[in-house]
Amino acid sequence: MPRIEVCSDWGSPQGTGSETVAVSGLAEIAAMQPAPSSTSSKTSFDRVLYAFSIITILMTIPQVLSIWLNRSAQGVSLITWSTYLVSACVWLAHGLEQRDPTIYRACVAWIVLDAAIVVGAIVYR
């Protein structure tokens, strides 16, 4: 028989309001997972997000070309683009975890472009 225990410290003198839930039984653990979202019905907002995802990726290509064709990274912030690269890697992990191709496909493109800028910024400093 599955067992669920809930412990709360609301009544404690320090009362932080945090709760601990212990669950045993696979059915309860599966029930705690969020329901998968339906990707078959795209809203207008989804289409706008998808379009901007493509547009922003395309807008980054001139920066990559500028660095590598001109062999100069003048004015390129290594900290900024490194942060973008790390962020894209984190989003990739999230997209893979969520099994959302819209997220992870865009992240692969971002990782390639951001890495090209970061490497170019290091090489052509």
95-123 residue pLDDT tens: 999 999 989 999 999 999 999 999 999 99
C-alpha–C-alpha distance, residues 82 and 33, integer Å: 33
21-73 residue pLDDT tens: 444 555 554 445 555 555 556 799 989 988 999 999 999 999 999 999 999 99
Residue 119: partners with Cβ closer than 8 Å, 6 or more residues away: none
Residue 110: partners with Cβ closer than 8 Å, 6 or more residues away: 57, 60, 84, 85, 88, 91
State residue 18's pLDDT score.
Answer: 47
pLDDT at 2 over 60: no
Q: At what angle do helices 101-123 and 78-98 cross, to 10 degrees?
A: 160
Write down all domains in the chain, each with its CATH number in brackets.
Answer: 3-32 (no CATH), 44-123 (1.20.1280.290)
Q: Name which residue leads in pLDDT, 39 or 83.
A: 83
- The answer to whether 88 touches 52, Cβ cutoff 8 Å, is no
* Coil/strand/helix, residue 74: coil
C-alpha–C-alpha distance, residues 38 and 111, integer Å: 27
Q: Where are the alpha helices (DSSP H) in 6-77?
A: 26-32, 44-70
